[in-house]
Amino acid sequence: MGFSLRAAAQLGQLWSDFQSYAVKLQNYFKDNIITTLEPLDVEADSAFDSSKGVLNIPNPILTNQIVSNDIIINSLTDSFENNSVVYSQNVSNEIYRLITRGRVAAFL
């Protein structure tokens, strides 16, 4: 009986730690999305919000698909890249970097 109570307490602590991690990760995204993806900050913020799963953490693959489709469909470009397909790949890479940095920052 004592073992199951300890296991339940450890599970509760694990859930609490995970929720703290998720909140820190979301805050990192919100704080850094504007400076990192400045011309597409609204589209990227919308993609992050709409790709959140059950655990309230954005799905990086779905986020990239949403933003890439937005760029290609609307033929968005920037001052350095006038091909929307190449530009969408550059933005996708930056989103992956942002997610990776956010995971590290939330974990540490």
- Structural domain including 81 reads 21-107
* pLDDT score recorded for residue 3: 58
Q: How many domains does the chain have?
A: 1
Bridge partners (DSSP) of residue 58 are 52
Q: Give a yes or no: residue 1 inside a domain.
A: no
Reported as a single tens digit per residue, the pLDDT across 46-95 is 888 888 877 777 787 888 888 888 888 888 777 677 788 888 888 888 88
Q: Give a yes or no: residue 6 inside a domain.
A: no
Residue 1 scores a pLDDT above 60: no
The model's pTM is 0.65
Residue 13: C-alpha distances to residues 17, 26, 106 (Å): 6, 20, 17
- Our CA angle for 18, 24, 27, nearest 5°, is 140
Q: Give a yes or no: residue 45 inside a domain.
A: yes
